[in-house]
Amino acid sequence: MEPEIKYPTSLEDVVRLVQRLYQPGSPATVNKVQEILQQVQRSADGWTLADALLGNPDQQVQFFGALTFIVKLNSDWESLAEADVFVLLDTLIGWLIRLVSAGATTMVVKKLCSTLAVFFTRFPDKWTHCTRHLICCLCDHRTPPDAIDSCPATQELLEKATSTQKIVALWFSAIFLEEVSKIDTRNIKNHHFREKVSLNADEAILLIENAIALPKEGNGSHLDTRLVTEGLQCFTSWAYYSMRTFVAPIPAIDKLKALNTRAMEWLQYDETSETTSEFLTDALINYSSFFSETDKQVLQHHLTGPWAMSNFRAVLAGEDGTDPLQFVRLIIAFAEASVQRIAKTPRDAQTEILMQMMHGMLTAPGYPVVEDEISPQTFEFWSSLVEYLLDGEFPVTEGENHGGSAMEEGKRHVFQAIQEYWAKIKIPPVSIAESWNKDAREGFTSFRKDFADLLETAYPLLQAPLFTKFVNHILGCFVAPDWEDIEATMFCLNSLSDSLTEQPSEDEALEQLFGSPLFTLLASSEGNNIPLKARRTAVNLIGSYADFFERHSDFLPAVLNYLFTTLSSPSLARNASKSISQLCSSCRDTLTGELSTFLYQYEIFTHSPSADELAKERVVCAISYVIQALLTDEEKASPISILLGLIQKDVEVCLSLAQQGEFDAAKDTALLVMRCLTSMGRGLQVPEDEPILLDSDKSRPLSFWEQEKGIMIQTQIVHMIHALVVAMQEDPEVVDAACCVFKTGFAESSPGAFVFPPHVTTNFLLERAANSRQVETIVATAATMISSYSTQGATSIVPQARALLEMVVALVEKYQEPQTDPDVAQSIMDFLNRLLFKYVEVLVNFEPKARTERLLLFALNSVAVKETLVKKAASTFWSNLVSLRDDRPEVQTAIDSIVQACGPVLAEKLVWGIGGGAARSDVDWLSEPLKKLVFKQPRTKSWLSAVLFRPGVPSPKVTDADKRLFLEKVMSLRGAKGTTQIAKEFWLQCRGNEFGYATPQFD
């Protein structure tokens, strides 16, 4: 057991605790030690303790001492007298000088620099010229801050300073900016920090300039690359600070920019190249305006000169000791920042070298991401170049020969880049792919997706020649097929499926492709040796060009034969079924003659033990698309019956499993059947673009589905659903899936196999409401049914509406309050809303009246629940009911009677909600019934007054005068849009201003 950790009573105790903090130990021990040390740091003795700890030889103790000074500066700085402030500054600088002289670690020295930077943020007016003062002190001219004018000039001091002294000053300068950057200088109270930074800028620039000065001729042996590196990093800090601040740039910005070309010179030194590249890359990407045109020309000279070309060749060759990414990023960042110039001056010698490197990056060896880290960095440049070529204006350059225009040169480069990427996206052999981990696989896939995006972007520029290039490449591969190569090309074609421009040459190319032996080869017995990825890409390719097959149906048999063949492969079944579904949806009218073949193929597929469930659903939907295209319902009956027969086999499997007690397996099968039936129902729906003749003539002849054979098919479907729901003991998921089957018929406006008679659907829902746990779904389905029979020309279902309302009232009596189950409450309110549009008489004439009153009270209470969706549905219901007008006098009288009876309670609920009882965002919904009441009901003012002028209602924070003003404003607007804003202002008064939003809210 570890000894008890006690509060230290001496400096030695503190030191031991600090050392223990950095030693291995249990998390509980470390936390306890840290907690005690924090108490010590914040104690009254913290200042003295920090000073003492810095004198300890242990670097961890020294670090903790500097940290303790920071803690005290952040917590107790206001307690220091003015004289103590200068004593503290002198102490900190003294320790910095002593520790630097003693060879303290970088960690300790930088922490002391951080302490001094925090000191500045606490006392900016006491240490205004902090950079100059610290340089003087480090260079053996220790003096008070207000006496620095007596010291030699900064430039003179730096000439004599050691590299170590200058490095410490550079550390402080960078950390000083970092600390100031944490302060929000957009706030006017903190604006003086910007001014103080500006006062230190000239000294910092002199310091940086000295650090990154180029070595004198013949003096290279004395080059201190560490000093140069720290100078470049400090330069980076000042450059970024000057460019990202939210007010005008610091006055010294031009002096800073003058250092750009000097910094660029350090690119060619191995020890400083990476730091310089990193600065230039980030600045080009984020702050390109930091570079003048002259700067960019100088940088281009560096990046296209012998040094850069030698470095680039080493990168591509993968020579040891060469870190490719930083140099490559710099080339790419510069190229992207120079896109306009590259596009307009393609024959410039330096542009040509730059583009050679950009192309060279796409030929780096290895698979992208996995082995080649270079090519994935390049997409942004090529996308930018394409976009500029599409949007820019390019005059033909005088004196140029064939292909000499800037546009043609740009297109040539883009075309070449696409060919280079094309070679990079080839899938690896299985032996290599299996050795990749998850990150490698995902990275390679992401690279392919990025290339697909580039293809889409570039196609408006390159158009049909690019498309035909891909197609012709495949056509030339059949003698000795390279399937990895063919797969990459099919991937490219797949990516362009939504980008074609309807040029005749595109269709001609597709005719050649789909008329070629490609899919015959893929479907042949030798196809087993073809990579799975290639077969999958071919499957996706077919689905992507469904619109082509709609125009050229003579190509369908070959591709559909291939797709049905691939269904038997578990790895391809989902992709194949998706493409089959896409084709059958687009080409349904031309495929009706193939129905028997499709049904046969599907039957074979269902007998496969590895038949994929999602694939089953998709193929059922696909076949149903084709059945829908048959001209008469009589023709549809036979294939529908055959398809149902195939689904019935899964029903029998489910029932058998249930009888054997294998409930989980039975449930999975039941859900599969329901999804297949739902897919079938959706597939049989009339397409949206097909005209529908609405016929409200009650004397029309019976449709096929209302006669014997049609009724038999519908009865079979309903029996299947019922059998599964009962066998699964009203399982909620199964009931939910069953309701989805019924909903497919609700979307139809004409008779169909899944458009069941209203009483059939109603009976199913009533039975489920009595037995099922899925009440919310039952009520929601009932609401959808009511809505579907409320459209123009729809059959009236008053008896069924009355029965469903009876079901809902029974649920209200069961739950009593909407808060009991908010999801059910929301469904109930939605159902009542749907009734209002065509079946309002069912609601207002419901008997007995006592039950109607309970239902309306439930609706009133729903306005006041905390759940937003319930409140929204209830508010919508009351808003619609209050404003409803019916042509039938007896119905309108009943509506008016309900509104008069419920008006006072509704007004009370609204006042409580708008008066702070609801969330502010809910006021938008609560305002709607308020507007309708004010506009439609003359007694609204008295109803509102009766509630508002009760003592303390709705909030003690509002006076009677406030309430009176609110009431007058609301009534004067007479339901206009501004009512919502008035309600929100009143809500804020009732809650208190501290609840207001920072951003204004609008109607």
pLDDT of residue 403 exceeding 50:
no
pLDDT of residue 398 exceeding 80:
no
CA atoms lying within 13 Å on the CB side of residue 865: 26
The predicted-structure confidence for 528-555, as pLDDT tens digits, reads as follows 688 999 999 999 999 999 999 989 989 9
Name the DSSP class of 187: S
Element (H, E) at 822: helix 822-838
Burial of 393 (0-12, 13-18, 19+ CB in 10 A): exposed
- The token duo for 188 is 């006017």
The predicted-structure confidence for 307-364, as pLDDT tens digits, reads as follows 999 989 988 887 765 566 889 999 999 999 999 999 999 999 999 999 999 999 999 9
- Closest C-alpha among 278, 280, 275, 303 to residue 291: 280
Q: Which residues contact 991 (CB under 8 A, 6 or more apart)?
A: 916, 920, 955, 957
Between CA 185 and CA 196 the distance in angstroms is: 11
Which of residues 214 and 227 earns the better pLDDT score? 227
Average pLDDT over residues 74-84: 89
Between CA 963 and CA 965 the distance in angstroms is: 5
Q: Which amino acid type is present at position 72?
A: K
Q: What is the pLDDT of residue 400?
A: 47
Which of residues 393 and 732 earns the better pLDDT score? 732
Average pLDDT over residues 748-757: 92
Average pLDDT over residues 879-900: 94
Angle between helices 11-21 and 46-54 (to 10 degrees): 70
The predicted-structure confidence for 683-723, as pLDDT tens digits, reads as follows 999 987 555 444 444 556 889 999 999 999 999 999 999 99
Which of residues 628 and 23 earns the better pLDDT score? 628
The predicted-structure confidence for 594-603, as pLDDT tens digits, reads as follows 999 999 999 9
* Contact criterion met (CB below 8 Å) for 152 and 213: no
CA 932 to chain centre: 39
CA atoms lying within 13 Å on the CB side of residue 156: 5
Inter-CA distances, 613 with 567, 572, 623, Å: 11, 13, 16
CA 766 to chain centre: 42
The distance in angstroms from the start CA to the end CA of the chain is 66
pLDDT of residue 942 exceeding 80:
yes
* Contact criterion met (CB below 8 Å) for 264 and 298: yes
The predicted-structure confidence for 566-590, as pLDDT tens digits, reads as follows 888 888 999 999 999 999 999 999 9
Name the DSSP class of 695: -
The predicted-structure confidence for 142-173, as pLDDT tens digits, reads as follows 999 999 999 999 999 999 999 999 999 999 99
pLDDT of residue 24 exceeding 90:
no
* Contact criterion met (CB below 8 Å) for 481 and 524: no
Inter-CA distances, 910 with 230, 331, 817, 831, 933, Å: 66, 65, 18, 22, 11
Q: What is the pLDDT of residue 526?
A: 57
Placement of tokens 């103590």 in the chain = 84
Q: What is the pLDDT of residue 999?
A: 30
Q: What is the pLDDT of residue 993?
A: 56
Q: Which amino acid type is present at position 10?
A: S
Between CA 214 and CA 203 the distance in angstroms is: 19
Placement of tokens 């004599």 in the chain = 160
Which of residues 348 and 26 earns the better pLDDT score? 348
CA 460 to chain centre: 27
Q: Which residues contact 297 (CB under 8 A, 6 or more apart)?
A: none
- Closest C-alpha among 41, 53, 141, 156 to residue 97: 141
Q: Alpha-carbon dihedral of residues 485, 486, 487, 489, nearest 10 degrees?
A: 90
Placement of tokens 């708008």 in the chain = 914
Question: Sign of dihedral through CA atoms 378, 384, 387, 393?
Answer: negative
* DSSP three-state, residue 368: strand
Between CA 55 and CA 727 the distance in angstroms is: 82
Burial of 234 (0-12, 13-18, 19+ CB in 10 A): buried
Average pLDDT over residues 216-222: 56
pLDDT of residue 454 exceeding 50:
yes
Mean pLDDT of the chain: 90
Between CA 242 and CA 198 the distance in angstroms is: 10
- The token duo for 59 is 């670097």
The predicted-structure confidence for 483-513, as pLDDT tens digits, reads as follows 999 999 999 999 999 999 888 999 999 999 9
Q: What is the pLDDT of residue 242?
A: 86
* Contact criterion met (CB below 8 Å) for 910 and 865: no
Between CA 263 and CA 278 the distance in angstroms is: 12
pLDDT cut 70: percent of the chain above it: 94
Average pLDDT over residues 972-978: 91
In this structure, which long-range contacts are made by residues 315-321, counting pairs with CB atoms below 8 Å and at least 24 apart in sequence? 315/374, 316/360, 316/363, 316/364, 316/365, 316/374, 318/365
Placement of tokens 């409930």 in the chain = 663
Between CA 837 and CA 831 the distance in angstroms is: 11
* DSSP three-state, residue 949: coil
Name the DSSP class of 222: G
Q: Which amino acid type is present at position 361?
A: M
Placement of tokens 């509630």 in the chain = 947
Q: How many CB atoms lie within 10 A of CB 302?
A: 18
Inter-CA distances, 902 with 848, 882, 979, Å: 17, 10, 21
Question: Length of the chain in residues, anyone?
Answer: 1003
* Contact criterion met (CB below 8 Å) for 233 and 272: no
Q: Which amino acid type is present at position 162?
A: T
Element (H, E) at 572: none
Q: What is the pLDDT of residue 33?
A: 87
* DSSP three-state, residue 143: coil
- Closest C-alpha among 667, 649, 660 to residue 729: 667
Q: What angle do CA 157, 161, 164 make, to 5 degrees?
A: 140
Q: What is the pLDDT of residue 698?
A: 52
368 DSSP β-pair partners? 372
Q: What is the pLDDT of residue 217?
A: 60
Q: What angle do CA 714, 717, 720 make, to 5 degrees?
A: 150
Q: What is the residue-wise DSSP string for 884-912?
A: ---SSHHHHHHHHHHHHHHHHHHHHHHHH
The predicted-structure confidence for 424-443, as pLDDT tens digits, reads as follows 999 999 899 999 999 999 99
In this structure, which long-range contacts are made by residues 781-784, counting pairs with CB atoms below 8 Å and at least 24 apart in sequence? 781/739, 781/742, 781/743, 782/807, 782/808, 782/831, 783/827, 783/830, 783/831, 783/833, 783/834, 784/743, 784/746, 784/834
Q: What angle do CA 12, 16, 22 make, to 5 degrees?
A: 150
Name the DSSP class of 184: -
Q: What is the pLDDT of residue 952?
A: 87
Q: What is the pLDDT of residue 615?
A: 94
Between CA 917 and CA 914 the distance in angstroms is: 7
Question: Sign of dihedral through CA atoms 616, 618, 621, 622?
Answer: negative
Please tell me the pTM assigned to this model.
Answer: 0.78
- The token duo for 84 is 């103590």
Q: Which residues contact 906 (CB under 8 A, 6 or more apart)?
A: 860, 863, 878, 929, 933, 943
* Contact criterion met (CB below 8 Å) for 619 and 580: yes
Between CA 803 and CA 553 the distance in angstroms is: 50
Name the DSSP class of 724: H
